[in-house]
Structure 1
Amino acid sequence: MKLLQRLTLALLTLGAAATCQAGTGLMELPGLPGDGPVTVFYPSSGADAPVQRGPFQLQLAWQAPPVQGNGRLVVITHGSGGNPWVHTDLARAMVAAGFVVALPEHAGDNSRDPSTPGPESWKRRPAEVSRAIDAVARDTRLAPLLALDKVGVFGGSAGGHTALTLAGGAWSPTRFRQHCEAHIADDFSSCVGFITRLHGNLLDGLKKWLALAVIRHRFNDDTAYTHEDPRIQAAVASVPFAADFDMATLAHPRIALGLVTAGLDVNQVPQFHSSAVLAACQDRCTHVAHLPGASHGAMLSPMPPLHLLNDVQTALLGDPPGFDRKVLPEVDARIADFFAQHLQPLPAPQR
């Protein structure tokens, strides 16, 4: 019976996506007052053409007319210091399946302004996702093509933290501090970000002491932060930061929850983050994909050119030797399938 339901959903999705679609549209919407722009990928009647965004030359239909897809919206919440373009391949796969995909720019934690990453950003991000949905709902070109009673969210790293919050997880800055106090050596990059790494030399002790001094000074708030948006009905968290969650709140996710994990993640060490979430939710969440030979940056696709990354970023985000990015289209397809199952795409309109 489940197989029949999945095949039916897939046929509905493909039927909707095929309606007059020629390319992957791209537009930028103004965010609500105080917010940055919302980048939107969507099914379009326009033809793809080269579009330059930062170091990336992408094949997209800039500001081309939108057409009916499957009637569902998925919001992608980027990682720390991120931008829409490193999620273009996933967005294109989602559009090919009929979805409209929106990416808000998270304040103080994006490639243009990376000034306040970590818990300060994590407090803001879920509401920024909700306001991105509102921004799409206000657009007269997109709103008539969507039913926003069932919206999906995909997020990686800090975006994965946001996805877990939207799935019903409760976290606190105090839990972040306690994790770092207990595991500063074993999960150093989770606590300090892309500032520096431990190298097994005499400076390591000083780095750990300084990091803990800053963390203890800044993160003493034991408020349990949550955010619920009834429109959001499915979420996928990819290599999420998760050590600051009360895992009991993720044991029974509020919505359909999927996880994408990487076996060689050195930025968010799995035992403290993704594996801990999977242990908490067990069969009440879905292990959408596991990439045993991948590290933290696997789902950045296209990957930023390595010459633009510093040594720390390359070590934490770069692909380990032997990892083959040819597996990523299959992972993208699994993510699209997860949302198709749980968001019940609408049938194509009768012609």
Structure 2
Amino acid sequence: MRSIIAQVFVAFIAIAAASHADAAVGFQHFSISDPQGPPIEVGVWYPTGAAPKLQALESDQQVVARDAALAGDRLPLVVISHGHGGSYAGHLDTAMALANAGFVVAALTHNGDSWRDPGNPTAIWERPRQFKLVTDYMLDAWGDHGRIDAKRVGAFGFSAGGFTVLAVAGGEPDLRTLGDHCRAHPAFEDCQIVERHPLPLDADIVWTHDPRIKAVVSAAPALGFAFGRKGLAAVRQPVQLWRAEDDQVLPHPYYAEAVRLALPTSPEAHVVANAGHYDFLTPCSAQLATRVPAICTSRPGFDRAAFHERFDRDIVAFFTRAL
């Protein structure tokens, strides 16, 4: 019986994907106010019936209908959090795939930890707070907020963003664990960042949670070791967890694996063979590959574009099922 149900579900996903195959994607770019900091940059992708055209997006390009009318009603929402030093545009293909499948997608640029504003990357409690502000805006103030189903909200994040979505979903790390971790692994990226930007561990840190988040996709989550079972006990939502087999930035088993073992319910876990940390980012344009080869170069034999076809398909299927 379970096999039959699974086959029916797979067929449903295939039909749903086909129904959106020719759908166009609308796009908006704006900033929202933050009462505790500078305005937050946001990109929004969504289904539309308008004709799209090729447009620039930071160092990339996308085929979208700028500021077009939204198509559909009671649509699910997915909010995206980028990794350390990234921006709202870092997961363009995933945002487009979700919008093509009938989701509204909002991605933010985290102030203090983006390529434009890199000055405060260790204030990681700011990330979930900023994330929730964007979710609040999309559900309460966005021009078409009334056509989003507030009971169907998901969160996607990569690296520091993977940490962010776990925190928003209810996770609370113990940052005091960073001391022992970094003494043992001083070359790890998170420890290098903390060395340059020391954590104010005596600060009164408040973690922002959002019970409206009903499903989480976390790829290569940063600081996974800092949660533990107690820190992830409140994360009861369905979780899809991704790990790159050859992640040299956040190496196994201290990050994604630590999260997998600590979650109260086993996640849908994926290990991507031969992949590196940055292979979860959108395949690089030629311009970006020339400018920042470190995040654009994959291991020999790894096809990032082909992987992202599967990655995006699996994320769409997960959010469709979970929301």
**Bin for the TM-score computed over the shorter chain:** 0.7 to 0.9
**Which whole-Å CA distance do the structure 1 matches of 2:55 and 2:90 have between them?**
14
Once the two structures are overlaid, the 10-residue window that deviates more, 126-135 or 297-306, is: 297-306
Which is richer in strand? Answer: 2
Asked if the contact 1:74–1:153 (Cα under 8 Å) also holds between the matched residues in 2, the reply is yes
Residues 133, 251 of structure 1: alpha-carbon distance in 2 compared, 3 angstrom cutoff:
closer
Distance 2:245 2:206 in 1: 29
Which consecutive unaligned segments of at least 5 residues does structure 2 have? Answer: none
Corresponding residue of 1:39 = 43
Change (3 A) 1:20 1:89: closer
Q: What residue identity is the alignment partner of 2:85?
A: G
Q: How does 1:257-276 map to 2 (within 5 A)?
A: 257-276=239-258
Number of the residue aligned with 2:158? 156
Amino acid corresponding to residue 220 of structure 1 in structure 2 = L
Residue 319 of structure 1 pairs with residue 298 of structure 2:
yes
Deviation track 1:195-219 (CA, whole Å, cap 9, x = no partner) reads xxxxxxxxxxxxxxxx75x67x644
Q: Deviation at 1:303?
A: 2.2
What is the deviation of 1:130?
1.2
Percent identity of equivalent pairs = 30
Q: What is the number of residues matched between the two proteins? A: 315
Aligned equivalent of 1:333: 313
Q: TM-score, normalization: structure 2?
A: 0.87
Name the aligned partner's letter for residue 157 of structure 1: S
Q: Is the 8 A contact 1:265 1:294 kept in 2?
A: yes
Instruction: Say whether 1:302 aligns with 2:283.
Output: yes
- Aligned partners of 2:225 and 2:258 also within 8 Å: no
- Matching of residues 27-106 of structure 1 within 5 Å: 27-33=28-34, 34-68=38-72, 71-106=75-110
Would the aligned equivalents of 2:74 and 2:149 in 1 still touch at CA under 8 Å? no
Would the aligned equivalents of 1:253 and 1:284 in 2 still touch at CA under 8 Å? no
Distance 2:120 2:82 in 1: 14
How far, CA to CA, are the matches of 2:134 and 2:160 in structure 1? 17
1:89 to 1:173, Cα distance in 2 relative to 1, 3 A: same
- 1:20 is displaced (CA, Å) by 11
Deviations along 1:87-146, one digit per CA (max 9) or x if unpaired, are: 1111111112211100122111112211111x31x1111121111112112445421221
Answer yes or no: is the 8 Å Cα contact 1:263–1:291 preserved in 2. Answer: yes
Q: Which amino acid aligns with 2:170?
A: G
Q: Determine the C-alpha separation between the residues in 2 that align with 1:10 and 1:94.
A: 18
In the alignment, does 2:173 pair up with 1:171? Answer: yes
Of the two, which has the highest radius of gyration?
A: 1
User: Post-superposition shift, 1:282?
Assistant: 7.6
Q: Is this contact kept in 2: 1:14–1:98, CA < 8 A?
A: no
Higher relative contact order (CA 8 A, sep 6+): 1
Q: Does the Cα contact within 8 Å between 2:21 and 2:100 map onto a contact in 1?
A: no
Paired residue type of 1:250: L
Runs of 4+ in 1 over 6 A off after TM superposition: none
Instruction: Assess if the C-alpha contact under 8 Å between 1:239 and 1:296 holds in 2.
Output: yes
- Give the alignment's TM-score, normalised by structure 1: 0.80
Whole-angstrom distance in 1 between the partners of 2:252 and 2:312: 21
